[in-house]
Amino acid sequence: MDKIFVNNMRFYGYHGVFGEEQKLGQRFNVDAVLSMDLSKAGLTDDLEQTVHYGEVYNAVKEIVEGEPVKLLETLAETISASLLGRFTLIDEVTIKVIKPDPPIPGHYDSVAVEITRGRA
């Protein structure tokens, strides 16, 4: 399966379990791996035969910067469903939602959730 990678998209959102997270907001990074057949696009050089990266970015931005949710899992599910719904050429999507600065004690780079969803 061919893949398109849209890596390290950066947004500011208001997601989290704690009230201050939904009030003050924080950074979120998202990686998307879009699995599909890219052979027609490669042979025809036609944008209609692939997925426009800018439209993927805008779809993810709309969700991450939109209505707050508590869980990264919910954010990842919402992004996956949106991309599969909007872009019919995508067969499977892997979404990784990264929270660089969660309000939990300890020393680490980030916390993240990664899910893979496909068409039924």
Q: Is 40 assigned a catalytic role?
A: no
Angstrom distance (rounded) from CA 95 to CA 97: 6
Q: Which one of 23, 61, 96, 99 is the catalytic residue? A: 99
**Sequence-ordered list of residues with C-beta below 8 angstroms from that of 12, at least 6 positions apart, any chain:** 25, 26, 27, 28, 65
Question: How would you list the strands of the sheet with 2-13, edge to edge?
Answer: 2-13, 26-36, 92-99, 111-118
Hey, which residues are catalytic here?
Answer: 99
